[in-house]
Structure 1
Amino acid sequence: MNIALWIAAGMLAAVALAGGFTKSFLPVEKLAAAHGGEWTGDAAPAFVRTLGVLEILAAIGLVLPALTGVAPVLVPVTAVCWVGLMIGAMITHLRYAGGARFAGLNLIYLVIAVFVAWGRFGIAPFAG
């Protein structure tokens, strides 16, 4: 179970890092022109950048505390926060044409985050 939880957290961290870097560093106009990124054209650039930074922090929070042994409880806490972010992402994507596909992808990420939170809070917590 420990290996499955590490893989799940690593996958989420990779997704969060990729999304975070694109939202943080790509021009909002370029994001808004991409399929699935239409919402960024309707959002304040500061909001988009803030989401990007939060996603980068989520990527860090999903792996670094466990790797260093410093406050490893932050891994499942971050996974719970990711669930909230994915709920917001699903609601946002569903407001746009063709957004159901992206909302479905967000649902998959949400389920993986629930698995990480459940596993690390419950059946396979990091030794403290």
Structure 2
Amino acid sequence: MNVAVWIISGVLAALFLLSGAAKAPATKASLGANPRMGWATPFPIGLIKFIGVAEIAGALGLILPRVFDTATWLVPAAAIGLAATMLGAIVTHGRRSEYPNVAINTILLVLTVFVAVARLSS
């Protein structure tokens, strides 16, 4: 089971790191030019940057505490934070009728909850 949690944590960390890295340096102009980021246009740029930084921090929090065996309580905390981010993403994409994105965010939500529960019980 531990191997599965590590694999899922690694995949989630990579996905959230990439997603956060796309949002953190974003500008309103870059968001408008990217058709995949159309959901972000009604939101303030500061919020988009905050989400990006939170995703990067969450990605690091899924892996680094267990690797260095210090403050391991941060792993489930990071997973819970990322799950909350996915709840927001599900609501946002659902309101825009972007159902493929809702499905992806739901899968990510389930995986982050799985990691949180697995790490809380270990």
Q: TM-score, normalised by structure 1?
A: 0.89
2:61 corresponds to 1:61: yes
Structure 1 counterpart of 2:96: 96
Structure 2: segments with no counterpart, 5+ residues: none
Q: How many residues align?
A: 122
Instruction: State the 1:28 CA deviation.
Output: 3.2
**More displaced, 30-39 or 19-28?**
30-39
Distance 1:93 1:36, change over 3 A: farther
State the percentage of identical aligned residues: 36
Q: Which amino acid aligns with 1:104?
A: A
**Do 1:29 and 1:41's aligned partners in 2 also have CA atoms closer than 8 Å?**
no
Q: Distance in 2 between matches of 1:94 and 1:88?
A: 10
Instruction: State the 1:32 CA deviation.
Output: 3.6
Alignment of 1:1-128 (within 5 A): 1-97=1-97, 99-122=98-121, 125=122
**Do 1:32 and 1:39's aligned partners in 2 also have CA atoms closer than 8 Å?**
no
Instruction: State the 1:34 CA deviation.
Output: 3.1
**More displaced, 29-38 or 70-79?**
29-38
Q: Distance in 1 between matches of 2:104 and 2:116?
A: 19
User: In the TM superposition, what whole-angstrom CA distance separates every residue of 1:34-60 from its partner, at most 9, and x where no partner exists?
Assistant: 344112111111111111111110011
Q: Distance in 2 between matches of 1:14 and 1:46?
A: 23
Q: Which amino acid aligns with 1:37?
A: M
Distance 1:32 1:95, change over 3 A: farther
Structure 1: segments with no counterpart, 5+ residues: none
Instruction: State the 1:26 CA deviation.
Output: 3.5
Q: Which amino acid aligns with 2:68?
A: T
Instruction: State the 1:31 CA deviation.
Output: 2.7
**Do 2:26 and 2:49's aligned partners in 1 also have CA atoms closer than 8 Å?**
no
- SS of the residue 1:69 aligns to: coil
- SS of the residue 1:104 aligns to: helix
Distance 1:36 1:93, change over 3 A: farther
Distance 1:107 1:88, change over 3 A: same
